[in-house]
């Protein structure tokens, strides 16, 4: 592989990592979802989704995803001919979640049809530590080891600053990070870690594990004091558009967070769904949501309060 390989990124998170390492010019192909940094939007796009966040409700998307995957299909298409024409040296992809990206088997099959050798690297982050290790791995692969180590050191230092700013006796509010609206999903992977770092109670969800569907009974038993809506792949505007079409769990109106108006929406796809550098931004935003007296209040770019008149239950 050359010192600066031709890179295809089939994950928005790896696109962000490659650019953070100063190799945006080496990116020859990206996914339809890659939108950060904004300067990548004109790169060749190699994937398309069969599901529309814009026209389908939260429940309809969940049903469509389950139907496709239960039938061993895929919700994404890969432009294999276009991929081959770009002649990449390195393809970055994943096997972690078939809802998040084009099937690894599809990518591997396409790569085998190349005339020249191409390296396909699958990344499997489940925790913040895994994300940092992936950044270092990509740095090694693309000849930017020192830059990757500096980036990880900076990101880790930012998380330490959040932790160190919290008083030892800080009240940790019960925090529900809602990863899908209908049906409701409890958080997994690195999100419970973000909650703990930000000074919240991480009792709802399992760090390092997949996010899973939850129930009204589980949510009511937890009695969250703060609810942060982070449905996977959604921006704030998507959440506000979807809420009137989504039926929230029974007992929603009696939850402490709902009674106190402590419900907000943030850009899940930027700060919580993607295992890239901006998970640290997510922890910092969450710290502002949970402890504005310590970190300062969020602005409308970071998070917005969800109006009560948007709820259906």
Residue 139 lies in a domain: no
Distances, alpha carbon 108 to alpha carbons 105, 119, 173, in Å: 5, 10, 45
Please tell me whether residues 58 and 178 are part of one structural domain.
no
CA–CA gap between residue 63 and residue 43 (Å, rounded): 32
**Residues paired with 76 in a beta bridge:** 49
- Tell me how many domains the chain contains: 2
Residue 180 lies in a domain: yes
Please tell me whether residues 209 and 281 are part of one structural domain.
yes
- Domain of 263, CATH number, reads 3.40.50.1980
Please tell me whether residues 265 and 204 are part of one structural domain.
yes
Residue 140 lies in a domain: no
The tens-digit pLDDT sequence of the chain (313 residues) is: 456 899 999 999 999 999 999 999 999 999 999 999 999 999 999 998 877 767 788 888 877 777 765 444 567 888 888 998 999 999 998 765 555 556 656 666 666 666 567 888 888 899 999 999 999 999 999 999 999 999 999 999 999 999 999 999 999 999 999 999 999 999 999 999 999 999 999 899 999 998 999 999 999 999 999 999 999 889 999 999 999 999 999 999 999 999 999 999 999 999 999 999 999 999 999 999 999 999 999 999 999 999 888 876 6
Please tell me whether residues 117 and 242 are part of one structural domain.
no
Residue 153 lies in a domain: no
Domain of residue 42, residue span: 7-124
Residue 58 lies in a domain: yes
């Amino acid at each position: 592989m050359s010192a600066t390989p031709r890179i295809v990124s089939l994950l928005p998170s790896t696109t962000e990592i490659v650019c953070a390492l100063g190799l945006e010019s080496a990116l020859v192909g990206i996914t339809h979802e890659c939108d950060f940094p904004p300067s990548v939007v004109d790169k060749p796009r190699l994937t398309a989704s069969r599901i529309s966040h814009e026209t389908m409700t939260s429940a309809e998307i969940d049903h469509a995803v389950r139907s496709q995957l239960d039938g061993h299909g895929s919700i994404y298409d890969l432009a294999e001919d276009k991929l081959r024409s770009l002649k990449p040296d390195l393809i970055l992809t994943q096997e972690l979640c078939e809802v998040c990206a084009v099937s690894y088997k599809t990518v591997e099959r396409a790569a085998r049809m190349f005339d020249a050798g191409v390296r396909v690297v699958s990344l499997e982050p489940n925790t913040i530590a895994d994300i940092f290790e992936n950044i270092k791995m990509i740095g090694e692969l693309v000849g930017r080891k020192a830059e990757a180590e500096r980036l990880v050191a900076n990101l880790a230092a930012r998380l330490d600053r959040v932790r160190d700013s919290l008083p030892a006796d800080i009240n940790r509010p019960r925090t529900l990070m809602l990863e899908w609206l209908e049906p409701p999903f409890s958080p997994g992977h690195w999100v419970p870690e973000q909650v703990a770092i930000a000074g919240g109670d991480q009792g709802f969800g399992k760090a390092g594990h997949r996010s899973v569907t939850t129930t009204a009974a589980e949510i009511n038993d937890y009695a969250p004091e703060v609810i942060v809506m982070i449905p996977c792949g959604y921006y704030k505007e998507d959440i506000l558009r979807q809420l009137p079409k989504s039926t929230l769990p029974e007992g929603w109106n009696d939850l402490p967070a709902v009674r106190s108006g402590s419900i907000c929406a943030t850009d899940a796809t930027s700060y919580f769904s993607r295992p890239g550098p901006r998970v640290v931004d997510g922890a910092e935003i969450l710290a502002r949501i949970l402890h504005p007296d310590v970190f300062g209040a969020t602005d409308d770019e970071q998070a917005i309060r969800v109006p009560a008149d948007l709820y259906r239950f």
